[in-house]
Each structure stands twice: as C-alpha cells, then as structure tokens.
Amino acid sequence: MTAIRRARPEDWPALWKIIEPVFRAGETYAVAVDIEEDEARALWLDKPLATFVAVNAADGRVLGSYFLKFNQPGGGNHVCNCGYIVARDARGRGVAGQLCEHSQREAIAVGFRAMQYNLVVATNTGAIRLWQRHDFDIVGRLPGAFRHPTQGEVDALVMYKRLVEAAAKA
C-alpha cells in the first residue's frame, strides 16, 4: 500500500538517493549530470510550490516523489508543471500513476487549470505511455532538443492536459 503526503525536510536524504542516480544518468531530466546536492534540493524540494512523496504505508520508505510549480509566471500562471521520479526498485508497481493522479488533484485544489510537461524525452517511452494513459496530449515535438548521453540528440515532447474539463467529467 502506498500513501502520498507532502514532503518534509527530513525526507531529503531518501529523496536524494532516488533523484541522484536519475540526474547523474542524464537520460530523462534536463539538469547537469554533475549537479550539486544543494542545487538538486533547491530544484526539487525548496523552490516548487509543493513537493510530495509516495511512501510505503507499512514502513514509511520513500518510493517516489513529484513537485508542483507554476509553468510560467504572469499570464501563464494558471498552468502548472510537475516533475516525477520513482525509486528504481519501486518502478512497475503503479507509483508513478498514483503520483500523476495525485498531482492533478492537488493542482486543481490550488487553482491550476492545466498541466504541462515541457520536455518529455522521446526515448522515455514508459513515461510517455503513462502520461497518455492519464489523458495528456502530445502538443509539440522539439526535434533534437535533448542531448541523450548514449543516443545523441533526441526529440523532446511537450505534453499538455486541461485539468478543469477533466475534473468536470469525473
């Protein structure tokens, strides 16, 4: 059983153990592979509007996380952006899907009307399938916009979902 709650400062060591290998691999996030831990903490935990963790309800172990932030300021501040990450040993167990569903509810609760993923690496096919299962549309393709460490320049996708219509249908 998985529970999702707001991240707390004391969650950072567990989060860093999950985030660091993903950032270092350089395959899915547009961050420097040599990012310092304090920069990663600011990006994931300190600067977003909110950060949540999925925890194993039995033992409290952090299984994954997401952050919620404004995609753009001013005229674009009704659209949010999220980043998700799941521990390697928790993948394939529905944690990312639960985080995605939770993030949409939280976004609506704080007044966002849409969610946009700005740079979904085209080689990250599992994430693309998951976001599409959650009714995100591919609204743009950015040719060669991501430098993959082994595949070179690969496309990145912009994915988008109107949240207010989705909530009205539910």
**What does each of the 170 residues of the chain score in pLDDT, given as a tens digit?**
799 999 999 999 999 999 999 999 999 999 999 999 999 999 999 999 999 999 998 999 999 999 999 999 999 999 999 999 999 999 989 999 999 999 999 999 999 999 999 999 999 999 999 999 999 999 999 999 999 999 999 999 999 999 987 666 65
CATH of the domain at 50: 3.40.630.30
Segments forming the whole domain that contains residue 6: 2-169
For residue 164, what pLDDT is reported?
A: 81
Q: How many domains does the chain have?
A: 1
Residues in a beta bridge with 68 = 50, 82
The number of beta carbons lying within 10 Å of the beta carbon of residue 9 is: 9
- 141: helix, strand or coil: strand
Query: Residue 27 contacts by C-beta under 8 Å, 6 or more apart in sequence?
Result: 121, 123, 124, 148, 149, 150
